[in-house]
Amino acid sequence: MYFDHQHFPLVWMRRAEDAGQPGVDPFQQLEGLMQRAQAFVLMSDLMPEPEQRNSARSQALLKQGSLWMKRNKAAIRRWIKAMIVIAPQPETQARVEAFADSYEKFWGYPLLHSASPLAAAALAQQLLRPPRVNPYNW
């Protein structure tokens, strides 16, 4: 995985091979993003296929991710507001929704979907807005 942060606070999660970034440690990248001390939203147009999630490599990454997540739990919850998957097809949206609870329990932030990149960016901007202090805080 590679995290493209050119449009921070929208951070696109891409396959490292597709981005020309083989060998990049995604956990170091996430730590660097969280060290900015600014909230951000992860975006992706990829939904892992079940056979990929069950591969030996995927299981090793999951174990590594679990250990990393435990060490960085507070920062993850503070700075990562959500993962939004671009899912134009209803079947893909249903798969995202079916996986969302497990994902949030593991990572500590919600897994959402949007039908287009434009709609996903709008949703991300809503998530990144500071909370209203009172009803008169426009």
The token duo for 17 is 């091979």
As a whole number of angstroms, the distance between CA 52 and CA 56 comes to 9
Could you tell me the pTM of the whole model? 0.83
Q: What pLDDT is attached to residue 66?
A: 87
Its sign, for the CA torsion 92, 116, 69, 109, is: negative
Amino acid in position 61: L
pLDDT of amino acid 51: 46
pLDDT value, residue 52: 53
Please, where are the H alpha helices in 54-116? 56-71, 73-79, 90-107
How sure is the predictor about 31, in pLDDT bands with cuts at 50, 70 and 90? very high
Domain boundaries, the chain: 2-128
Reported as a single tens digit per residue, the pLDDT across 90-118 is 999 999 999 999 989 988 999 999 999 99
Q: Mean pLDDT across the stretch 14-36?
A: 79
Task: Read off the pLDDT of residues 49-101 as tens digits, 9 standing for 90 and up.
Answer: 554 556 677 778 778 888 999 999 999 999 999 999 999 999 999 999 999 99
